Amino acid sequence: MRFTVISPDIYTYGAMLIAGILKNNGYDVVIKNTLSASPKDTVLLSLYSTQHLINEEIKSFVAERKKTQGEVFVGGPVSAYPEIIFGELNPDCVITGEGEDTVLLIAEKGISDDIPGLSYRDEKGDIIKTKHAGPASINRPLPLIPKDIAKQSIRGASAYIETHRGCTGACTFCQVPRYFGRNIRSRELEDILKEVREFKKHGAKRISVSGGTGSLYKYKNGQIDEDAFVELLKGMAKIMGPKNVSSPDIRVDCISDKILDAIRDYTIGWVFFGLESGSDNVLMHMGKGARVKQASDAVYKCREHGLKVAGSFIVGHPLETETDYELTKDFIAEHYLDDVFVSIAEPIPKTPLADLVLKTPSEKNPTYVPHAGEYKSLKLSESEARSFDLQMHADMFKPNLHVVTDEVFNAYLKGVRKDGFEVRAATDLLFKYYYNSEN
Ligand code: SF4
């Protein structure tokens, strides 16, 4: 049995890991970031965005493959809601949750109802879901690193490596605690560093600690292990050089002097906070577990340690009022963030945000409500208008001069229209399958 593991457009760490596990178990494997495979290969499609499920190229790729003998398995973060995957792509099976063990069992025995973590259609076309697979082992062989990894740049990094799984947070829009759980499972430092060396050997230019919250590495019994995080960054910097290591995405309540000094000394010197909103009301609805004051203190603390600070914000939460949105603008104006990322609230299936969106009538959901204010002539939804406005507003309050030229204006406009379209598509999908499969 030969496998082609595909993660569309980018080589995700998860895809490289699954490919590495198959290879380590004696299977012939290739990894690709494009939609192509030899006719008889079994394709493992690792999908990380709801948009993949409505992507016409992916749909026709799967349909074409099913005409040949090659089977198609789908896994990755989208697997939380197999009904949507079968309805839109109709693969041979869906590997749900952490797929490392499941994929090996399918490779060995074929699709079978005694393999945990699997969904497939029976002869009648009904979807069969086997029992939950549970957490996979955190110890693993080396990932299969593609030869052209040096060409990949995701926010400047060739790859985001996994140092631990899980998040203690419970943000209502996020899949991480639902997918990996709220207990932290950390890898051994030597295994991580061995992997970093391997990435370097394959030409990776910059390595980043995977999303979530970096400083939860080795978190145990309610305690952050500052020393373990310092050793992790120090070890990575020794291999890659500090200018080639980044540690994005950290919670505002998971920092300390020691942690910030390590980020300054052993990485590119940026901290990325998921700030989400300048309103305590919205932070509470998002289950963020941190308040605006903590976020503000964290930004100032980073500055004391000589770090640059980027913040990401989410607009268009169904319960975000105009007043809440204005508070986010005030937060940005006060803190002079070095960079700002804005996204529109996307209801990822099986998250509490998705449940809330399903209960929100479309005339009250900013994703659908037409914007009637300052940007009315641009024909944006309320979410798109807030995202557009916030990006331009943030530019006025960045430390260096940022002029909103026509080019920048048009780029922001194009970006928010695309985001708005995609979030509406994801929301429509949710409604379609919720009403078909659960009502
Ligand atoms: S802290 Fe980050 S990774 Fe954790 S639940 Fe919130 S958004 Fe997700």
Q: Distance, CA 37 to ligand 1 centroid (Å)?
A: 35
The residue to mutate among 162, 171, 210, 273, having the most atoms of ligand 1 within 8 angstroms of its beta carbon, is 171
Enumerate residues lining ligand 1, CB below 6 A: 167, 169, 171, 174, 176-177, 212-213, 251, 274
Q: What share of the chain is helix, strand, coil (3-state, %, to 5)?
A: 45, 15, 40
The residue to mutate among 163, 167, 180, 286, having the most atoms of ligand 1 within 8 angstroms of its beta carbon, is 167
Thinking of the domain 149-438, which architecture would CATH place it in?
A: Alpha-Beta Horseshoe (3.80)
Angle, vertex CA 312, rays to CA 50 and CA 270, nearest 5:
120
Q: Whose CA is nearest to atom 8 of ligand 1?
A: 174
Q: Which helix (H) or strand (E) holds 284?
A: helix 280-285
pLDDT, position 435: 61
Phi, psi (rounded to 5 degrees) for 334: -80, -30
pLDDT, position 213: 85
Q: Distance, CA 407 to ligand 1 centroid (Å)?
A: 33
Q: Distance, CA 346 to ligand 1 centroid (Å)?
A: 14
Q: Whose CA is nearest to atom 2 of ligand 1?
A: 212
Contact in structure between 209 and 247 (CB atoms under 8 Å): yes
Q: Which atom of ligand 1 is nearest to the CA of 177?
A: 5
- Secondary structure of 405-439 in the HEC alphabet? CHHHHHHHHHHHHHHHHHHHHHHHHHHHHHHHHCC
**How many Å apart are CA 422 and CA 428, to the nearest integer?**
10
Q: Distance, CA 167 to ligand 1 centroid (Å)?
A: 6
Across 82-143, the runs of DSSP E, i.e. the strands, are 93-95, 118-121, 127-129
pLDDT, position 436: 56
Q: Distance, CA 4 to ligand 1 centroid (Å)?
A: 31
Per domain, the residue ranges of the chain are 2-129, 149-438
Q: Whose CA is nearest to atom 3 of ligand 1?
A: 212
The residue to mutate among 162, 213, 255, having the most atoms of ligand 1 within 8 angstroms of its beta carbon, is 213
**How many Å apart are CA 314 and CA 198, to the nearest integer?**
36
Q: Which atom of ligand 1 is nearest to the CA of 212?
A: 3
DSSP bridge pairs for 160: 208
Q: Distance, CA 288 to ligand 1 centroid (Å)?
A: 8
The residue to mutate among 180, 251, 275, 350, having the most atoms of ligand 1 within 8 angstroms of its beta carbon, is 251
Residues 6+ apart with CB under 8 A from 393: 329, 332, 333
Residue 98: Cβ within 10 Å count: 22
Q: Distance, CA 146 to ligand 1 centroid (Å)?
A: 29
Q: Whose CA is nearest to atom 6 of ligand 1?
A: 171
Q: pLDDT (tens digit, 0 to 9) for every residue of the chain, 439 residues total?
A: 899 999 999 999 999 999 999 999 999 999 999 999 998 899 999 999 999 999 999 999 999 998 887 899 999 988 988 999 999 999 999 999 899 999 999 999 999 999 999 999 999 999 999 999 889 999 999 999 999 999 999 989 999 999 999 999 999 999 999 889 999 999 999 999 999 999 999 999 999 998 678 899 999 999 999 999 999 999 999 999 999 999 878 999 999 999 999 999 999 999 999 999 999 999 999 999 999 999 999 999 999 999 999 999 999 999 999 999 999 999 999 999 999 999 999 999 999 999 999 999 999 999 999 999 999 999 999 999 999 999 999 999 998 777 888 999 999 999 999 999 999 999 999 999 986 555 4
Q: Which helix (H) or strand (E) holds 208?
A: strand 207-209
Q: Distance, CA 172 to ligand 1 centroid (Å)?
A: 9
Q: How many residues does the chain have?
A: 439
Q: Distance, CA 205 to ligand 1 centroid (Å)?
A: 27
**Structural tokens at position 210:** 């995977």
pLDDT, position 439: 42
Residue 6: Cβ within 10 Å count: 26
Q: Distance, CA 168 to ligand 1 centroid (Å)?
A: 8
Tokens 């005339």 label which residue? Answer: 363
CATH homologous superfamily, domain 2-129: Cobalamin-binding domain (3.40.50.280)
